[in-house]
A and B are shown apart, each in its own frame.
Chain A
Amino acid sequence: MSGDGKHPAPASNSPATDQEDQQASPGGRTQTEEETVTLQVYRYDPDVEAKRTGSFETFEIPVHEGMTVLDALIEARDEHDSSLTFRHSCRQGVCGSDAFFVNGKQRLGCKTQISELSKPIRIEPLPHQPVIKDLVVEMEGFYERMQAVEPYFDPDDPPPGELEERKQTRENREDVKLSTRCIWCGACTSSCTIASDEDVYLGPAAINKGYRFYADDREGDERGKERLELLTEHDGVFRCQTQFSCTLVCPQDIPLTEHIQTLKRDATKRDLKFW
């Protein structure tokens, strides 16, 4: 997974660093030699004659320690070509804006270290979604899938009182914890071949969202049954072929396939129980 393990410890952690050979840049990052990395970035713009057919443009970017793909793209945009377009915001892996297809895998730009990737680095928009411009894809299909699972808390019973919370056991909270971490980045759904093209398969993100509420004890059994029905209809969980691509690419390490399998098992138990 991107971001784990192989990030080299920055020089700033070693006590015996020789300050003199290094120049600190404003962010505290050190740049030792003039090392550069080659980026091949997908360009497309329906509005500009020269960019109406998609193509790849090359950028040579100076590298500093700890540089991420997003850092490199921002450098490319700010120093070389201000028309380079991509979504991004938080820079720390929580907003989910900057999911790209980097060297053939769905990753968050801000959570992918340049140092971990083989060069040249190929950066493309998420596959299986129409491209609006450069690395920006149409996310409407993704949002529609999310909305299709009624992704809001909808309990059977009214709350206990204006100043009283519903109780939830720590175990149950732990059960739903991972499924609540979804940041709507779209990486999983883009990686799933079943969810590709205009297929109406809900996809891992939407199913996981449904699971998040299904598994939350506070909603109640009736609602749980309704949710299970919704999630197991045509183009629901049974379209999943346990490809596992979703689980592999999720930047939040949510065990998506496992959640989908749980729903399949629960539905099967429900349907086979003819006694």
Chain B
Amino acid sequence: MARPRSRFESGSVAWFLQRVTAVVLLFVLAFHFLWLHFVNHAADVTLWGSALRMDQLVYFIGMVVFLVTAVYHALNGIYNALLNWGLSGRARQVSFWVFAVVGVVAIVQGIRIAFAMAGVVTQ
């Protein structure tokens, strides 16, 4: 008896995305670290330096990807840890939505900051 179910109900999508974001993070984190520690150095990590980097489309997109995958991976990870710890029922539902909202807010604000940083050069 197949009842109509949301494809998200089993948790398979979240599981899959956690692994996909893990792989993506591997690359963007590596890039981010290399770029800001080896290629550029501490002295270059200024608002102006960052604005110059953000002005490059590829870097901008890369940072947004970093933002989204990191927020998702971190919040989903913590959520799952809480589930394993015994979070259930009402508390679980509430937590889910709190995390979701926090996640969305973080991403939206992060993107706004990215745009703001990119726009500095032109101001």
**How near does chain A come to B114, taking the closest CB pair, in angstroms?**
29
Query: Complex formed: what's the CA distance from A225 to B1 in Å?
Result: 10
A232–B13 alpha-carbon span in the complex (Å):
11
Instruction: Give the residues from 168 to 197 in chain A that come closer than 8 angstroms, CB to CB, to chain B.
Output: 193-194, 197
Assess the B10–A225 pair: CB atoms within 8 A.
no
* Residue among A200, A236, A264 with max Cβ neighbours from chain B (10 Å): A264
Chain A residue numbers with a CB within 8 Å of B8 are 271
Tell me the B1-23 residues at the A interface (CB within 8 Å).
Answer: 1-2, 5, 7-16
Cα distance, A257 to B59, chains bound together (Å)? 39
A229 at the interface (CB under 8 A from B): yes
What's the least CB distance linking B12 to chain A, in Å?
4
Write out the residue numbers on chain B whose beta carbons fall within 8 Å of the beta carbon of A241.
80, 84
Q: Are A264 and B12 in contact (CB under 8 A)?
A: yes
State A234–B15 Cα separation when bound (angstroms). 12
Please, how many angstroms separate the alpha-carbon atoms of A234 and B11 in the complex?
A: 7
| From A193, A198, A236, contact of B10 by CB (8 A) | A236
| Cβ proximity bits A204-242 to B, threshold 8 Å, 1 near / 0 not | 000000000000000000000110010011101011010
Q: Is the CB of B10 within 8 A of A232?
A: yes
Q: A225-B2, A238-B15 are in contact. Are A271 and B84 (CB under 8 A)?
A: no
**Which of chain B's residues have a CB closer than 8 A to the CB of A32?**
none
Total B residues in contact with A, Cβ cutoff 8 Å: 18
Query: Given that A225-B2, A229-B5, A239-B84 are contacting pairs, would A264 and B13 also be in contact in the complex, using a CB cutoff of 8 Å?
Result: no
Shortest CB distance B36–A (Å): 32
Q: How far is the CA of A194 from the CA of B9 in the complex (A)?
A: 20
A267: interface (CB < 8 Å): yes
Q: Give which listed residue, B1, B7, B12, B83, contacts A239 with CB less than 8 A.
A: B83
A226-B1, A268-B16 known; A238 vs B11 contact (CB < 8 Å): yes
Shortest C-beta distance, B3 to chain A (Å), equals 9
Write out the residue numbers on chain A whose beta carbons fall within 8 Å of the beta carbon of B10: 229, 232-233, 236, 238, 267, 271
Partner of A238, one of B5, B7, B14: B14
Q: Which residues on B sit within 8 Å (CB–CB) of A87?
A: none
**A154 interface residue per 8 A CB criterion:** no
Which A residues are CB-close (under 8 A) to B84?
A: 193-194, 199, 239, 241
A267 to B15, CA, bound (A): 10
Whether the Cβ atoms of B5 and A268 lie closer than 8 Å is no
Q: How far is the CB of A237 from chain B (nearest CB, A)?
A: 8
| Docked complex Cα distance between A267 and B5 (Å) | 13
Q: Within 8 Å CB of B83, what residues of A?
A: 239
Instruction: Known pairs A232-B10, A236-B11, A271-B12; list 20 more (Cβ under 8 Å).
Output: A197-B86, A199-B86, A226-B1, A229-B2, A229-B10, A232-B11, A232-B12, A233-B10, A234-B11, A238-B11, A238-B14, A239-B83, A241-B84, A264-B15, A267-B10, A267-B12, A268-B13, A268-B16, A270-B12, A271-B13
List the interface of chain B (C-beta within 8 A of A): 1-2, 5, 7-16, 80, 83-84, 86, 88
A-B contact pairs, 18 of them (CB 8 A): A197-B86, A200-B88, A233-B10, A234-B9, A234-B11, A236-B11, A238-B10, A238-B12, A238-B14, A239-B83, A241-B80, A241-B84, A267-B12, A268-B12, A268-B16, A271-B7, A271-B13, A272-B16
